[in-house]
Amino acid sequence: MFNVNANGANIPALGFGTFRMPDDDVARVLPEALKLGFRHVDTAQIYKNEAAVGEVLATSGIAREEIFLTTKVWGDRVGHDAFIASVDESLQKLKTDYVDLLLLHWPQSEMPLADRMGALNELVKAGKVKHIGVSNFSVALLDEAVKLSDAPIATNQVEYHPYLDQTKVLEAVRRHGSSLTAYYLMADGKVPKDEVLKDIGAKHGKTAAQVVLRWAIQQPEVIALSKTATISRLPENYDVFDFELSAEEMQAVHALAKPDGRIVNPGHLAPQWDD
Protein backbone atom coordinates (compact mmCIF):
# COMPACT_ATOMS: atom_id res chain seq x y z
CA MET A 1 0.00 0.00 0.00
CA PHE A 2 1.21 3.51 -0.69
CA ASN A 3 -0.29 6.89 0.12
CA VAL A 4 -1.19 10.01 -1.83
CA ASN A 5 -0.25 13.28 -0.12
CA ALA A 6 -2.86 15.91 -0.97
CA ASN A 7 -2.66 19.28 0.76
CA GLY A 8 -1.36 17.65 3.94
CA ALA A 9 -3.76 14.70 3.92
CA ASN A 10 -1.90 11.40 3.72
CA ILE A 11 -4.49 9.22 2.02
CA PRO A 12 -4.03 5.49 1.33
CA ALA A 13 -4.17 5.13 -2.46
CA LEU A 14 -6.58 2.20 -2.27
CA GLY A 15 -9.77 2.58 -0.28
CA PHE A 16 -12.68 0.33 0.65
CA GLY A 17 -15.97 1.92 -0.42
CA THR A 18 -19.32 1.09 1.21
CA PHE A 19 -21.78 2.56 -1.32
CA ARG A 20 -25.00 0.47 -1.44
CA MET A 21 -23.74 -1.82 1.32
CA PRO A 22 -26.41 -2.66 3.88
CA ASP A 23 -25.36 -3.05 7.50
CA ASP A 24 -25.16 -6.84 7.30
CA ASP A 25 -22.72 -6.67 4.38
CA VAL A 26 -20.60 -4.05 6.16
CA ALA A 27 -20.48 -6.23 9.28
CA ARG A 28 -19.51 -9.27 7.21
CA VAL A 29 -17.06 -7.84 4.66
CA LEU A 30 -15.36 -4.80 6.22
CA PRO A 31 -13.63 -6.79 9.02
CA GLU A 32 -12.09 -9.05 6.36
CA ALA A 33 -10.99 -6.03 4.31
CA LEU A 34 -9.24 -4.61 7.38
CA LYS A 35 -7.55 -7.95 8.11
CA LEU A 36 -6.27 -7.96 4.54
CA GLY A 37 -4.69 -4.53 4.97
CA PHE A 38 -7.23 -1.93 3.85
CA ARG A 39 -6.81 1.20 5.98
CA HIS A 40 -8.91 3.72 4.03
CA VAL A 41 -12.67 3.38 4.54
CA ASP A 42 -15.24 5.50 2.69
CA THR A 43 -18.86 5.99 3.76
CA ALA A 44 -21.52 8.74 3.64
CA GLN A 45 -24.59 9.92 5.50
CA ILE A 46 -26.84 8.89 2.60
CA TYR A 47 -25.44 5.33 2.59
CA LYS A 48 -27.18 4.83 5.94
CA ASN A 49 -24.42 2.50 7.11
CA GLU A 50 -22.21 4.82 9.18
CA ALA A 51 -23.22 3.07 12.41
CA ALA A 52 -22.28 -0.34 10.97
CA VAL A 53 -18.94 1.05 9.76
CA GLY A 54 -18.33 2.59 13.19
CA GLU A 55 -19.08 -0.68 14.95
CA VAL A 56 -16.62 -2.62 12.78
CA LEU A 57 -13.87 -0.04 13.26
CA ALA A 58 -14.45 0.14 17.02
CA THR A 59 -14.18 -3.63 17.42
CA SER A 60 -11.41 -4.22 14.85
CA GLY A 61 -8.50 -3.99 17.27
CA ILE A 62 -6.88 -1.48 14.89
CA ALA A 63 -5.89 1.88 16.41
CA ARG A 64 -8.12 4.73 15.24
CA GLU A 65 -5.15 6.72 13.93
CA GLU A 66 -4.24 3.87 11.59
CA ILE A 67 -7.56 4.18 9.74
CA PHE A 68 -8.24 6.93 7.21
CA LEU A 69 -11.99 7.46 7.52
CA THR A 70 -14.08 9.49 5.07
CA THR A 71 -17.75 10.43 5.23
CA LYS A 72 -19.89 12.88 3.27
CA VAL A 73 -22.60 15.42 4.09
CA TRP A 74 -25.80 15.08 2.06
CA GLY A 75 -27.23 18.13 0.26
CA ASP A 76 -30.42 18.33 2.32
CA ARG A 77 -28.49 19.42 5.42
CA VAL A 78 -29.50 23.04 4.93
CA GLY A 79 -28.59 25.81 7.35
CA HIS A 80 -25.50 26.09 9.52
CA ASP A 81 -26.95 24.40 12.60
CA ALA A 82 -28.44 21.48 10.65
CA PHE A 83 -25.17 20.95 8.78
CA ILE A 84 -23.07 20.87 11.98
CA ALA A 85 -25.64 18.70 13.78
CA SER A 86 -25.57 16.17 10.94
CA VAL A 87 -21.79 15.83 11.27
CA ASP A 88 -22.07 15.40 15.04
CA GLU A 89 -24.58 12.63 14.35
CA SER A 90 -22.18 11.02 11.86
CA LEU A 91 -19.37 11.08 14.44
CA GLN A 92 -21.64 9.48 17.00
CA LYS A 93 -22.61 6.72 14.57
CA LEU A 94 -18.99 6.22 13.51
CA LYS A 95 -17.96 5.96 17.20
CA THR A 96 -15.17 8.48 16.74
CA ASP A 97 -14.51 12.08 17.73
CA TYR A 98 -13.13 13.01 14.31
CA VAL A 99 -13.15 11.94 10.66
CA ASP A 100 -10.02 12.18 8.56
CA LEU A 101 -11.91 13.57 5.57
CA LEU A 102 -15.34 15.18 5.26
CA LEU A 103 -16.79 15.82 1.80
CA LEU A 104 -19.73 17.72 0.39
CA HIS A 105 -21.44 14.81 -1.39
CA TRP A 106 -22.88 16.73 -4.36
CA PRO A 107 -22.63 20.39 -5.34
CA GLN A 108 -26.35 21.06 -5.54
CA SER A 109 -28.01 22.16 -2.31
CA GLU A 110 -30.33 24.90 -1.12
CA MET A 111 -27.50 25.89 1.24
CA PRO A 112 -25.10 28.22 -0.62
CA LEU A 113 -21.64 26.83 -1.29
CA ALA A 114 -20.01 29.66 0.67
CA ASP A 115 -22.02 28.67 3.76
CA ARG A 116 -21.23 24.99 3.36
CA MET A 117 -17.51 25.68 2.95
CA GLY A 118 -17.69 27.91 6.02
CA ALA A 119 -19.25 25.06 8.01
CA LEU A 120 -16.53 22.64 6.84
CA ASN A 121 -13.86 25.09 7.96
CA GLU A 122 -15.53 25.52 11.35
CA LEU A 123 -15.50 21.73 11.81
CA VAL A 124 -11.77 21.64 11.03
CA LYS A 125 -11.12 24.35 13.64
CA ALA A 126 -13.21 22.39 16.16
CA GLY A 127 -11.04 19.30 15.59
CA LYS A 128 -13.98 17.20 14.40
CA VAL A 129 -12.60 16.97 10.87
CA LYS A 130 -8.93 16.72 9.88
CA HIS A 131 -9.31 17.43 6.16
CA ILE A 132 -12.11 18.60 3.88
CA GLY A 133 -13.04 17.97 0.28
CA VAL A 134 -15.79 17.80 -2.28
CA SER A 135 -17.44 15.15 -4.40
CA ASN A 136 -18.93 15.31 -7.90
CA PHE A 137 -17.68 18.87 -8.44
CA SER A 138 -16.90 20.26 -11.88
CA VAL A 139 -13.67 22.20 -12.45
CA ALA A 140 -15.46 25.56 -12.11
CA LEU A 141 -17.13 24.49 -8.85
CA LEU A 142 -13.87 23.07 -7.48
CA ASP A 143 -12.15 26.39 -8.24
CA GLU A 144 -14.96 28.20 -6.43
CA ALA A 145 -14.77 25.89 -3.40
CA VAL A 146 -11.01 26.47 -3.14
CA LYS A 147 -11.53 30.25 -3.18
CA LEU A 148 -14.21 30.04 -0.48
CA SER A 149 -12.15 27.91 1.91
CA ASP A 150 -9.35 28.73 4.33
CA ALA A 151 -8.56 25.02 4.77
CA PRO A 152 -7.18 23.37 1.61
CA ILE A 153 -9.30 20.92 -0.39
CA ALA A 154 -7.84 17.42 -0.05
CA THR A 155 -9.82 15.68 -2.80
CA ASN A 156 -12.60 15.79 -5.36
CA GLN A 157 -14.30 12.39 -5.34
CA VAL A 158 -15.73 11.73 -8.80
CA GLU A 159 -16.81 8.99 -11.16
CA TYR A 160 -13.69 7.80 -12.96
CA HIS A 161 -13.08 4.68 -15.03
CA PRO A 162 -11.53 3.81 -18.41
CA TYR A 163 -14.64 4.90 -20.33
CA LEU A 164 -14.78 8.42 -18.84
CA ASP A 165 -12.06 10.97 -19.59
CA GLN A 166 -11.45 13.06 -16.47
CA THR A 167 -8.37 14.91 -17.73
CA LYS A 168 -9.81 18.34 -16.91
CA VAL A 169 -10.67 17.39 -13.33
CA LEU A 170 -7.24 15.80 -12.91
CA GLU A 171 -5.52 18.94 -14.16
CA ALA A 172 -7.62 21.03 -11.76
CA VAL A 173 -6.92 18.96 -8.63
CA ARG A 174 -3.21 18.94 -9.43
CA ARG A 175 -3.26 22.71 -9.89
CA HIS A 176 -4.72 23.02 -6.38
CA GLY A 177 -2.36 20.48 -4.77
CA SER A 178 -5.38 18.22 -4.26
CA SER A 179 -6.27 14.70 -5.39
CA LEU A 180 -8.92 12.83 -7.35
CA THR A 181 -10.68 9.97 -5.58
CA ALA A 182 -12.13 7.62 -8.17
CA TYR A 183 -15.43 5.85 -7.61
CA TYR A 184 -17.32 3.55 -9.99
CA LEU A 185 -14.02 2.23 -11.33
CA MET A 186 -15.64 -0.99 -12.52
CA ALA A 187 -18.07 1.06 -14.64
CA ASP A 188 -21.15 -0.84 -13.50
CA GLY A 189 -19.71 -4.23 -14.42
CA LYS A 190 -18.28 -3.31 -17.84
CA VAL A 191 -14.62 -3.52 -16.78
CA PRO A 192 -14.40 -7.27 -15.97
CA LYS A 193 -15.81 -8.13 -19.42
CA ASP A 194 -13.61 -5.76 -21.45
CA GLU A 195 -11.36 -7.67 -23.88
CA VAL A 196 -8.66 -4.97 -23.98
CA LEU A 197 -8.43 -4.97 -20.19
CA LYS A 198 -8.51 -8.76 -20.00
CA ASP A 199 -5.64 -8.97 -22.52
CA ILE A 200 -3.53 -6.50 -20.54
CA GLY A 201 -4.29 -8.43 -17.37
CA ALA A 202 -3.27 -11.75 -18.93
CA LYS A 203 0.25 -10.38 -19.53
CA HIS A 204 0.62 -9.72 -15.80
CA GLY A 205 -1.34 -12.68 -14.45
CA LYS A 206 -4.03 -10.26 -13.28
CA THR A 207 -7.75 -9.72 -13.91
CA ALA A 208 -9.27 -6.82 -15.83
CA ALA A 209 -10.50 -5.38 -12.52
CA GLN A 210 -6.97 -5.44 -11.09
CA VAL A 211 -5.67 -3.73 -14.24
CA VAL A 212 -8.12 -0.84 -13.75
CA LEU A 213 -7.39 -0.44 -10.04
CA ARG A 214 -3.68 -0.39 -10.88
CA TRP A 215 -4.29 2.07 -13.77
CA ALA A 216 -6.01 4.41 -11.32
CA ILE A 217 -3.45 4.37 -8.51
CA GLN A 218 -0.56 4.49 -10.96
CA GLN A 219 -1.70 7.97 -12.00
CA PRO A 220 -0.26 10.77 -9.84
CA GLU A 221 -2.70 12.19 -7.27
CA VAL A 222 -5.34 9.49 -7.95
CA ILE A 223 -6.93 7.42 -5.17
CA ALA A 224 -9.05 4.38 -6.03
CA LEU A 225 -12.12 3.17 -4.15
CA SER A 226 -12.80 -0.54 -4.51
CA LYS A 227 -15.94 -2.22 -3.34
CA THR A 228 -17.24 -5.74 -3.09
CA ALA A 229 -19.81 -7.58 -1.02
CA THR A 230 -18.07 -10.87 -1.88
CA ILE A 231 -15.32 -11.75 0.61
CA SER A 232 -13.53 -14.01 -1.87
CA ARG A 233 -13.03 -11.00 -4.16
CA LEU A 234 -11.29 -8.88 -1.52
CA PRO A 235 -7.78 -10.29 -2.12
CA GLU A 236 -8.17 -9.58 -5.85
CA ASN A 237 -9.04 -5.94 -5.12
CA TYR A 238 -6.12 -5.53 -2.73
CA ASP A 239 -3.48 -7.36 -4.75
CA VAL A 240 -2.55 -4.51 -7.10
CA PHE A 241 0.81 -3.38 -5.69
CA ASP A 242 3.05 -6.11 -7.08
CA PHE A 243 2.89 -5.17 -10.77
CA GLU A 244 3.11 -2.06 -12.92
CA LEU A 245 1.49 -1.13 -16.21
CA SER A 246 3.76 0.09 -18.99
CA ALA A 247 3.25 3.53 -20.56
CA GLU A 248 1.72 1.78 -23.58
CA GLU A 249 -0.67 -0.21 -21.40
CA MET A 250 -1.69 2.92 -19.47
CA GLN A 251 -2.42 4.64 -22.78
CA ALA A 252 -4.42 1.64 -24.03
CA VAL A 253 -6.67 1.92 -20.97
CA HIS A 254 -7.05 5.70 -21.41
CA ALA A 255 -7.96 5.11 -25.06
CA LEU A 256 -11.17 3.30 -24.00
CA ALA A 257 -12.75 6.65 -23.00
CA LYS A 258 -15.94 7.59 -24.88
CA PRO A 259 -17.82 10.90 -25.17
CA ASP A 260 -20.88 9.32 -23.52
CA GLY A 261 -18.93 7.39 -20.89
CA ARG A 262 -20.53 8.98 -17.84
CA ILE A 263 -22.81 6.60 -15.89
CA VAL A 264 -23.69 8.53 -12.71
CA ASN A 265 -25.65 11.67 -13.60
CA PRO A 266 -28.63 12.41 -11.32
CA GLY A 267 -30.23 15.56 -12.71
CA HIS A 268 -31.32 16.98 -9.36
CA LEU A 269 -27.82 16.66 -7.89
CA ALA A 270 -25.27 16.91 -10.69
CA PRO A 271 -23.54 20.09 -11.86
CA GLN A 272 -22.98 21.06 -15.46
CA TRP A 273 -20.15 18.66 -16.16
CA ASP A 274 -16.92 19.59 -17.89
CA ASP A 275 -16.99 18.78 -21.62
Q: In this structure, what CATH number is given to the domain that contains residue 195?
A: 3.20.20.100
Residue 126: predicted pLDDT: 98
- Let me know how long the chain is: 275
Q: What is the pLDDT of residues 65-89, one digit of tens each?
A: 999 999 999 999 999 999 999 999 9
What's the confidence (pLDDT) of residue 231?
Answer: 96
Which domain range does residue 81 map to?
3-254
Q: Is residue 14 part of a domain?
A: yes
* pLDDT on residue 275: 75
Burial 25-64 (b: 16+ CB within 10 A, else e): bbbebbbebbeeebbbbbbbbbbebbbbbbbbbeeeeeee
- d(C-alpha 158, C-alpha 180), whole Å: 7
Tell how strand 9-12 and strand 153-159 pair up: unpaired
Q: pLDDT tens digit string along 1-38?
A: 799 999 999 999 999 999 999 999 999 999 999 999 99
Residue 73 falls inside a structural domain: yes
Query: Is residue 271 in some structural domain?
Result: no
Is the residue at 270 inside a domain? no
For residue 29, the model assigns a pLDDT of 98
In this predicted structure, what is the pLDDT of residue 22?
A: 97
Would 161 be classed as within a structural domain?
yes
| Domain count within the chain | 1
Does any domain span residue 272?
Answer: no
Identify whether the C-beta of residue 27 lies closer than 8 Å to the C-beta of residue 51: no
Spans of the chain below 70 pLDDT = none
Q: Is 47 a catalytic residue?
A: yes
Does residue 15 fall inside a structural domain? Answer: yes
Encoded amino acid at 17, one letter? G
Task: Say if 259 falls within a structural domain.
Answer: no
Report the 10 Å Cβ neighbour count for 95. Answer: 16
pLDDT of res. 1 = 77
